[in-house]
Homo-oligomer: A and B are copies of this chain.
């Protein structure tokens, strides 16, 4: 029987928010889903430090898959990200007061990395469960993109002993956050966790992604 290990990371709250739905959802994932062992860590919303934390966790746990999760206020559904780009361009400060503008994540890194998660499969499986989901083509230029790029770069350059798949999933606000704002979309925390659980299974079942319409005109 094949048994795999998935490392999920969630962020600490940032900006004006008191909670971060990414960590709230990750932390209540079960420790085991079918033949998948789930490892869960919270990482700080801080440039570099966040990557260092995941670096250590990869060393410690030797996962087969790394799924980083982050908050995307204003989005309606679960968004597996297609690509991470080699740029830090912060419009607000991170939690340590850093605000890099147009600097690379890794100086010697390529322009971008495509996710190695089966994102079309994940979207299809989440939609089947009546939770809104679509592929996103930008993870921004803040710490979310930073961690996605960073982890893919570490895997491509440092953890080459086996094929570790990795990628990023953006999740909406949860009701507690949206209720104090005007007309902000949100998703129940349980739905987000359920979507992440489904994503874990999709990764387990789909080594290669499916071909499915899911692009964006602009």
Contact = CB atoms under 8 A, between A and B. Distances in A.
A188 interface: yes
A70 B142 CA distance: 26
A201 interface: no
Nearest to A217: B142
A171 to B, nearest CB: 10
Range of interface residues on chain A?
A: 35 or more
Interface in A61-104: 70-76, 82-83, 85, 87-92, 99, 101-102
Given A111-B112, A112-B85, A137-B140, A90 B215 contact: yes
A217 B110 contact: no
Given A82-B87, A138-B137, A211 B112 contact: no
A20 to B, nearest CB: 12
Contact of A188 (B82, B188, B214, B216): B188
A218 B85 contact: no
A88 B141 CA distance: 22
Q: Which 7 A-B pairs have the closest CB atoms?
A: A89-B215, A112-B112, A141-B215, A138-B138, A72-B218, A140-B218, A137-B138
